[in-house]
Amino acid sequence: MSGLSRVFLARLAGTAVFDPNGDLVGKVRDAVATLRSNNQPPRILGLLVEVPMRRRVFVPITRVTSIETGAVVITGLLNMRRFEARTGELLVLGEMLDRKVQLAENSEQVVVEDLGMEQTRSGDWLINRVHVMRKGRGLRRRGETFTAAWEEISGLTGTEHNQGVTNLLSTLSTLRAADLASVMQDLALKRRVEVALALTDERLADVLEEMEESDRVELLAELEGERAADVVAEMDPDDAADLLREIGDERAKKLIELMEPEDAEDVLRLMTYEDYSAGGMMTTEPVVLTADGTVAEALAAVRASEVSPALASQVYVCRAPLETPTGKFIGIVHYQRLLREAPSTLLGSIVDTETQGINPDAQLNQVSSYLASYNLLSVPVVDANERLLGAVTVDDVLDHLLPEDWRHSRHDQNGPNRMEG
């Protein structure tokens, strides 16, 4: 192999992976290793590479032809089946970063910040360097850092309770919620819970929305009551309602009692509808303004970071009150129309009154047909009194149309398999 012969793996995370033609394949997310007897340095089996569609696949180290600063080159042969760890394998960054270990010479406790792999003369890659940090003294929050040989460290292979996640999270900080969810689902439950506990309520809520049903139910079960309720409250109401349906009536009732009344009200309202109905799929937080609102106000509202692209595609014009259920639903103004009008233009003068809302009891096939027929990214849900109850977005419809395990089933028809080199 050409290029670097010693690489620190936390620094390698996020590095672009290219095929021999220079085409981008994906990004390095972790390395897969196997432990050896008598405290010998672990052997690297391959890299975990994230390819398009958030799929994390295994690339045997024998398929890696070069590791350079900012680029990893592989032979171009890829097995696109999703990675699943085998017995005896470990994810180096996911499982070993932030571990509290001891220096063999004096039993001093240090924390693992990075691990270095080096290529031997035989061509194998071994983890033979451990970058660690001593405990800070006095007012210093960070202690001295240094690199030791693998043999000079003990405690790297045992199970540690309450393992830290600071360095692991630093390698994941730039990931979008969907990508972080994919990473967490590959971790052991213990490590997954440790990461979840370190995330903010808002960040964890975003991640849970992107997880498979069984995984998020399992993770929520590991959170204490008040923390779990706070996280559920940060989720989009429709996703929160789906999750509470999944965890069982008794736990759902306890969490709802711990939520703020305003948050609980929206979720309880959604739970009264069937899961595959418009009411069960809708979000209760679309962008709503009155007819005397201006284009400038509408653009400012859809520009908010918490508004999803589908919801930002159009503004709903209603009479007060503007909280769902609103006053009478008047119509919609599409984002493109907002861009064509002067900032001072009143929404009432450009509102589309032809787009009718759908009934909250409308079924999935009716909602999907409506979106397709009128080329909409979201559709208003209106009750018999012509009040806007919420909006169903195209991503919510897709979540219900696709198989429950669609995030993991892409290209996985034959189960996990792996090239060894």
* Pairing outcome for strands 314-318 and 288-289: parallel
Top pLDDT among 37 and 367 is at: 367
CATH of the domain at 64: 2.30.30.240
Place of tokens 């849900």: 381
Q: pLDDT per residue over 247-304, tens digit each?
A: 888 999 999 999 988 889 889 989 999 888 999 999 999 999 999 999 999 999 999 8
CA distances from 289 to 294, 330, 338 (A): 9, 10, 13
Same domain, 248 and 301: no
Give me the domain span that covers residue 266. Answer: 201-272
Tokens linked to 14: 């996020």
Same domain, 349 and 246: no
Same domain, 304 and 393: yes
Same domain, 295 and 267: no
Same domain, 392 and 293: yes
Top pLDDT among 317 and 186 is at: 317
Is residue 170 included in any domain, yes or no?
no
Single out the residue in 239, 272, 305 at which a domain terminates: 272
How far is CA 78 from its chain centroid?
Answer: 24
Same domain, 306 and 266: no
Same domain, 347 and 311: yes
Is residue 115 included in any domain, yes or no?
no
Is residue 243 included in any domain, yes or no?
yes
3-class secondary structure, 231: helix
Q: Is 97 buried (19+), middle (13-18) or exposed (0-12) by CB count in 10 A?
A: buried
Top pLDDT among 55 and 12 is at: 12
153 φ/ψ angles, rounded to the nearest 5 degrees: -120, 140
How far is the C-alpha of 325 from the C-alpha of 67, rounded, in Å?
57
pTM for the model:
0.69
Q: How confident is the model at residue 171 (pLDDT cuts 50, 70, 90)?
A: confident
How far is the C-alpha of 19 from the C-alpha of 75, rounded, in Å?
6
How does the average pLDDT of the chain come out, rounded? Answer: 88
Is residue 385 included in any domain, yes or no?
yes
CATH of the domain at 262: 1.25.60.10
Alpha helix positions (H), 105-224: 166-172, 177-185, 189-198, 201-209, 213-221
Is residue 100 included in any domain, yes or no?
no
| β-bridge partners, 329 | 318
Number of domains composing the chain? 3
Nearest CA among 154, 180, 30 for reference residue 95? 30
pLDDT at 87: 78
Same domain, 294 and 237: no
Contact 125, 44 (CB under 8 A): yes
Contact 266, 237 (CB under 8 A): yes
